[in-house]
Amino acid sequence: GNSVTQMEGPVTLSEEAFLTINCTYTATGYPSLFWYVQYPGEGLQLLLKATKADDKGSNKGFEATYRKETTSFHLEKGSVQVSDSAVYFCALSAYNNNDMRFGAGTRLTVKP
Partner 1 sequence: DAGVIQSPRHEVTEMGQEVTLRCKPISGHDYLFWYRQTMMRGLELLIYFNNNVPIDDSGMPEDRFSAKMPNASFSTLKIQPSEPRDSAVYFCASSLASYNEKLFFGSGTQLSVL
Q: Which residues are near partner 1 by CB under 8 A? A: 32, 34, 36, 41-46, 49, 51, 89, 93-95, 97-105
* Longest pairwise C-alpha distance within the chain: 44
Q: How far apart are CA 30 and CA 78, in angstroms?
A: 28
Q: Which of 47, 46, 49, 74 is nearest to 60 (CA)?
A: 47
- Cβ closest to partner 1, residue 57 vs residue 110: 57
Q: How far is the CB of 35 from partner 1 (least distance, A)?
A: 11
Nearer to partner 1, 40 or 112 (CB): 40
Backbone angles phi, psi at 102, to 5 degrees: -110, 150
Residue 26 vs 79, nearer CB to partner 1: 26
Q: Report the nearest approach of partner 1 to the CB of residue 13 (Å).
A: 22
Q: 95: burial class by Cβ within 10 Å (0-12, 13-18, 19+)?
A: exposed
- Measured in residues, the chain has a length of 112
Q: How far is the CB of 59 from partner 1 (least distance, A)?
A: 12
Q: CB nearer to partner 1: give 79 or 104.
A: 104
Nearest distance from C-beta of residue 12 to partner 1, angstroms: 18
